[in-house]
């Protein structure tokens, strides 16, 4: 029986079907060739530019899915279950990336395209306006997105004096408003959820200060209401800190506004110490305003408002030579021409 492997050999077979024997050979440039043996006759399928381009797009979306799987499972309203939501998440973003590459092979693209690595997944040079959620909810349960590059000026209890804050803001008279009043003002139910996802980069000096390591990944938090908080409780800082439960690979926190009229649920990054920041962010809500689950639509965007990709010289033509075994080619022609 022939079986298909994941990763760099995804879609290729190993084993035997009838009189046909399938093998996979890894090439020197990191690509793979499918080899078939049929009654002593050997046939090799060629790696075409179009096929390699599709592998590049797939690598990008597979990495996104791997790191944001908990988000993708709940972010697509069209998906009737977690599996269907994740499939829609994958399909939409694969289409976005492919369309962007075909239309902007030589520049003015929206996505950052990766050079080929040892495997087809976990490539680092990622980022772009991926679709993070899609649905019919026409509002969010939070009041606005937050990006503060000098967080200590606006928020109490920040962790880093020169850090950044990325998150969402809720209007609230801290110490005055009750939990029930807060929910009513924001048209929230106890079933509601809000989500942050982002493409993040930081530098780790702890392991070896002489050789710091740079990391990039997609991160997230999913915030749901803590059922143990009662409607009659007052929205004090302590109550606000315990109002939501998190599923996350980050360290989300509640920050109180210095003026006492709002709070932020978000991430305080160590920008000065680790250059820790988000290059792309997206926020969305899952709510039940009419008794049925609805999801607001969101895409990755630059929190500072810029429209260009965060990393320059990463258009398809600049990186695609590495996928074709020609890494020195600085302007690989489009396979779609």
Nearest C-alpha neighbor of 131 from the set 162, 113, 110, 148? 110
Q: pLDDT tens-digit profile of 317-334?
A: 999 999 998 888 889 999
Neighbours of 114 (CB within 10 A): 21
More confident call, 81 vs 5: 81
Specify the pLDDT at position 10.
47
**Residues 215, 269 contacting (CB under 8 angstroms):** no
At residue 181, the 3 state secondary structure works out as: helix
Average pLDDT rounded to a whole number, residues 191-204: 95
Specify the pLDDT at position 330.
84
Average pLDDT rounded to a whole number, residues 183-190: 95
Most confident range, picked from 10-19, 171-180, 196-205: 171-180
Name the average pLDDT for the chain. Answer: 88
Q: pLDDT tens-digit profile of 15-69?
A: 655 556 667 666 766 666 766 666 555 545 567 999 999 999 999 999 999 999 9
More confident call, 25 vs 155: 155
The token pair at 331 is 């302007």
Asked if residue 8 has pLDDT above 50, the reply is: no
Degrees (nearest 5) of the Cα angle 59, 310, 201? 75
Matching residue, tokens 């250059």: 275
Distance CA 18, CA 32 (A): 23
Distance CA 124, CA 185 (A): 42
Q: pLDDT tens-digit profile of 266-308?
A: 999 999 889 999 999 999 999 998 889 999 999 999 999 887 8
Give whole-number Cα distances, 25 to 2, 20, 140, 327, in Å. 15, 16, 50, 20
Distance CA 141, CA 144 (A): 9
* Domain locations along the chain: 3-46, 48-108+311-337, 129-308
Would you give the end-to-end CA distance of the chain in angstroms?
39
């Amino acid at each position: 029986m022939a079986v298909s492997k994941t990763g760099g050999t995804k879609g290729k077979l190993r084993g035997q079907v009838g009189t046909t024997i399938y093998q996979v050979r890894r090439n020197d440039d990191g690509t793979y060739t499918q080899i078939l043996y049929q009654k002593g006759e050997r046939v090799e399928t060629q790696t075409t530019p179009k096929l390699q381009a599709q592998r590049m797009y797939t690598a990008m979306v597979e990495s996104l899915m791997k790191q944001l799987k908990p988000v993708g499972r709940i972010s697509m309203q069209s998906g009737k279950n977690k599996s269907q939501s994740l499939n829609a998440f994958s399909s939409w973003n694969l289409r976005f990336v492919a369309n962007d590459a075909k239309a902007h092979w030589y520049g003015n693209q929206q996505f950052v395209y990766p050079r080929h690595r040892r495997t087809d997944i976990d490539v680092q040079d990622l980022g772009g306006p991926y679709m993070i959620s899609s649905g019919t909810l026409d509002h969010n349960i939070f009041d606005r997105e937050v990006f503060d590059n000098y967080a200590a000026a606006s928020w109490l209890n920040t962790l880093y004096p020169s850090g950044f804050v990325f998150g969402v803001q809720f209007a609230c008279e801290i110490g005055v408003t009750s939990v029930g009043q807060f929910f009513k003002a924001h048209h929230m139910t106890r079933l509601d959820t809000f989500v942050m996802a982002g493409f993040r980069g930081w530098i780790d000096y702890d392991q070896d200060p002489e050789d710091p390591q740079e990391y990039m990944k997609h991160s997230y938090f999913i915030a749901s209401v803590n059922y143990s908080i009662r409607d009659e409780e007052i929205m004090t800082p302590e109550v606000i800190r315990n109002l939501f439960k998190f599923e996350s690979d980050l360290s989300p926190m509640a920050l109180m506004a210095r003026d006492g009229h709002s709070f932020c649920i978000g991430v305080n990054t160590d920008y000065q110490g680790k250059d820790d920041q988000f290059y792309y962010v997206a926020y969305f809500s899952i709510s039940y305003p009419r008794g049925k689950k609805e999801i607001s639509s969101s895409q990755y965007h630059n929190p500072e408002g810029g429209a260009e990709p965060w990393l320059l010289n990463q258009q398809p033509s600049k990186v695609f030579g590495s996928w074709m075994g020609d890494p020195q080619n600085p302007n690989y022609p489009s396979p779609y021409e």
